[in-house]
Amino acid sequence: MKKITDLVDAEKGRKELAGDRITVGVATCGISAGAMPVLDTLKDANLGVLVEPVGCSGMCYNEPIVTVKKDGVHSIYSHVTKEKTKKLVECIRKGKKCEEFFVANKLSEIEYYKKQRRLVMENCGVINPLKLEQYVASGGFVGLENALKIEPAKVVDSIKNSKLRGRGGAGFPTGIKWSFVSCKTGKKYLVCNGDEGDPGAFMNRTLMESDPFRLLEGMIIAAYAIGSDEAFVYTRAEYPLAIKTVQSAISILEKKGLLGENILGKDGFNLKIRIKKGAGAFVCGEETALMNSIMGNRGYPRPRPPYPSDMGLWDKPTVINNVDTLANVAVIMRIGVNEYTKIGTEKTSGTKTICLAGKIKRPGVIEVPFGIPLREIIYDIGGGTPKGTKFKAVQSGGPAGGCIPASMIDLSLDYETLTGAGAIMGSGGLVVMDDEDCMVDVARYFMSFIQEESCGKCTPCREGNMRLLELLEKITGGVGTREDINLIKKLANFVQNCSLCGLGQNAPNPVLSTMRYFMDEYIDHVENKTCVAGVCRSIITYSITNKCVGCGNCARLCPVSAITGKLKERHVIDPEKCIRCGECYRNCAFHAITKSGAKKS
Amino acid sequence: MKKTEEILAKYSDRSELIDILEEIQESFGYISEENMRKIEQTLKIPLVDIYGVATFYSAFKLKPSGKHIIRVCKGTACHVKKADLIQSRIEELLGIKGGETTKDKKFTLELVNCIGACAKAPNIMIDDEVFGELTKEKIDKILKEVKRV
């Protein structure tokens, strides 16, 4: 057996990481914020320093992010757009700190990171994602070395003892899942589920773009443990950069003998990893539908049993693990089970990558130990809601999940605690909502999503969710009744208990959880025809009063040209065209616009 | 633009059907009946299976799209950050609704479920490029630029 340093020049990587270096975060968020021209400008400036791309450090709210290490001083800069890069270049040439965009010297000094614990994401935003030397210099493939020194069954035991739970949503113990397959003989498959269809979840994308070797190392260890020689990374087509990055990483590993035959010199340990792209079907995040998609079929789920561990891809035993789960495998086999189980809770070890989005000051990808109170995530890490709006609820678990209201913000982040509160951990997307969000509309929104994504195979989901959507649309449309609310509860129960797969079974979760905590909003909609958040278009009306001086500002702001009027004359809002965005209402300097339908009577 | 024959020559297995359809989609902008029949003849996959897969996945189009695809993200984070406003503004500027193509065949507008850039909500994609933290002003600027190019 070989050592990783026999195959990869870790010393080169170590020197690059330790020396003078300028990095620009160019994962998807960074690119959308304009990071590519910044990288190009810094490269063209010939500063005599290594300038290279890195992935996402998770601090998405600060993109584009540039780090400069020169003459022993390390600085982190934020919001460095192309226009501002010239100034930064001047500062670097003069050896000065550029105060205007300076954030901190180290990540650990930034409020955002103080309560985080970065294990899975420790390389993200630090290393060049496709420089294997830098990955190895940072401890990469030590996990694989450790795994290959022991029998596969011992690797399975290690993962069992680590109490690693599947990070895709269900939280099933990974070691136990592996043991169902590792004891079998013959052809076996490993699948990495990178579909990440949950709206609000982008942690898998972040890892695939920023540290693809971490994922692949985890897959190689998993394949060794279960006895598989063929693996797939199933990822959604909406992630072109992630697909390209992982594909490049696979090619690099193949060239280095870390994929293919006799990996790391271990005789007989062969593995081929291929990427399979999804094609825009949320249901393909469900493991049986995913397998159908890999096999080139319509993405229909099927009943379980038989479980994939008995009959998976092409009827062979198959293990399906989430991206995050596999990344954790690489971490565990490097730092050891004892160290890993010190983090997290009694039932769930380790950390969880979480995506914070919505009405939050500091949206991005974070990594926290299990057991951390939600309050610390929302306020200490996320900075609370922006511009003084009131925090109302946090949606956890996407369309299969539920809302945790502000009153329960001291709940700890763990599978059982969230389920008990009517939400689920899910993939870890937390979407924060404030008093401008209508919880009935949120339920309608999720039901609309699910109804569109339902594969149509089973009647309870196909018909039941359509009827639930119709009822919710009645309520948000201002024509709902108390009977509709009662019918929703009955129908939701039926859909949960009778649907074929997790998509249908969990579809009623958002409406049931919003009813549990925000029933007053439902009652307001049906009895008082009121939407206190001011969202529901059929209930809210904006009108211009005679206080209007005809400045025309509202007409300019209106995104759909619903406001007309002559200069210095009272303007008029066309209620048919008006989308109730409230831009005119919020920006009228003369308070001439009224909003009806939002006040509790 | 690759010819269908060139694409099909690389494949031999039924399990590669989605990969084949993705390449055809990329080359031709949509999946025509003619191309579906070519797949059937070359790879001996029943036409009904091909049609079934092509109609199941939202990434596959059975009608020609515009030269550029504008996708408005309707994910949760974008929804709470006023994706509706962004959608309405684009519809207003292009004169089409979600799912439609402009008369000059330059743009198709699609409403999609979460592109995974939630921290920068609200987002759109124009072809493979993501534009985030959008406002009415930014949309106006971006579309003006895209129309010009």
How do residues A438-454 score in pLDDT, each as one tens digit?
999 999 999 999 999 99
How many Å apart are CA A150 and CA A207, to the nearest integer? Answer: 28
Interface of A with B in 348-377 (CB under 8 A): 355-359, 363-365
Are residue B139 and residue B88 in the same domain, yes or no?
yes
Contacts of A364 in chain B (CB under 8 A): 119
Phi, psi of A452 (to 5 degrees): -70, -35
* Domain residue extents for chain A: 12-110, 139-341, 351-434, 439-527, 541-596
* Complex ipTM value: 0.92
What CATH fold (topology level) applies to the domain A541-596?
A: Alpha-Beta Plaits (3.30.70)
How do residues B76-102 score in pLDDT, each as one tens digit?
999 999 899 999 999 999 999 999 999
Are residue B48 and residue B86 in the same domain, yes or no?
no
- Do A598 and A540 meet the contact criterion of CB atoms below 8 Å apart? yes
Instruction: Indicate if the pLDDT at residue A71 is higher than 90.
Output: no
Please check whether residue B61 lies inside any domain of the structure: no
Q: Nearest C-alpha of chain A: how many angstroms from B105?
A: 23
Are residue B77 and residue B117 in the same domain, yes or no?
yes
Are residue B110 and residue B38 in the same domain, yes or no?
no
Are residue B73 and residue B132 in the same domain, yes or no?
yes
- Do A358 and B76 meet the contact criterion of CB atoms below 8 Å apart? yes
Where does a domain end: B56, B83, B99? B56
Are residue B134 and residue B80 in the same domain, yes or no?
yes
How many Å apart are CA A95 and CA A450, to the nearest integer? Answer: 55
CB contact under 8 A, A200 and B118: yes
User: What's the order of all strands across the beta sheet hosting A102-104?
Assistant: A50-54, A21-25, A66-70, A73-77, A102-104
- What CATH homologous superfamily does A139-341 map to? NADH-ubiquinone oxidoreductase 51kDa subunit (3.40.50.11540)
Whether A561 has its CB under 8 Å from any CB of chain B: the answer is yes
Interface of A with B in 262-321 (CB under 8 A): 276-282, 293-299
Please check whether residue B62 lies inside any domain of the structure: no
Are residue B79 and residue B38 in the same domain, yes or no?
no
What CATH fold (topology level) applies to the domain A439-527?
A: de novo design (two linked rop proteins) (1.20.1440)
With bands split at pLDDT 50, 70 and 90, how would you rate the model's confidence at B1? Answer: low
How many Å apart are CA A544 and CA A540, to the nearest integer? Answer: 14
How do residues B96-142 score in pLDDT, each as one tens digit?
999 999 999 999 999 998 888 888 999 999 998 899 999 999 999 99
Among partner residues A196, A205, A431, which is closest to B76 by beta-carbon distance?
A: A431
Q: Which domain holds residue B97?
A: 68-148
Contacts of A445 in chain B (CB under 8 A): 76, 79
Contacts of A56 in chain B (CB under 8 A): none
A139-341 and A351-434 have identical folds: no
Q: How many domains does chain B have?
A: 2
Among A66, A118, A123, CA closest to A89 = A66
Are residue B94 and residue B141 in the same domain, yes or no?
yes
Please check whether residue B117 lies inside any domain of the structure: yes
Question: What percent of chain A has a predicted confidence (pLDDT) above 70?
Answer: 100
Among partner residues B22, B91, B120, which is closest to A29 by beta-carbon distance?
A: B120
Q: Which two tokens stand for residue A439?
A: 């919880």
B144: CATH: 3.40.30.10
Are residue B28 and residue B95 in the same domain, yes or no?
no
Are residue B83 and residue B134 in the same domain, yes or no?
yes
Contacts of B52 in chain A (CB under 8 A): 298
Q: Give me the architecture of the A351-434 domain, per CATH.
A: Roll (3.10)
Q: Which two tokens stand for residue A98?
A: 């550029």
How do residues A374-386 score in pLDDT, each as one tens digit?
999 999 999 999 8
CB contact under 8 A, B118 and A560: no
Q: Which two tokens stand for residue A564?
A: 């007309």
Sequence-separated (6 or more) residues with CB below 8 Å from residue A107:
A57, A76, A113
Are residue B107 and residue B85 in the same domain, yes or no?
yes
What CATH fold (topology level) applies to the domain A12-110?
A: Glutaredoxin (3.40.30)
Interface-testing mutation among B18, B30, B62, B69, with chain A (most A C-beta atoms within 10 A): B18
Are residue B76 and residue B131 in the same domain, yes or no?
yes
Predicted local confidence at residue B116, as pLDDT: 86
Contacts of A200 in chain B (CB under 8 A): 75-77, 114, 118
CB count, 10 Å around CB of A457?
18
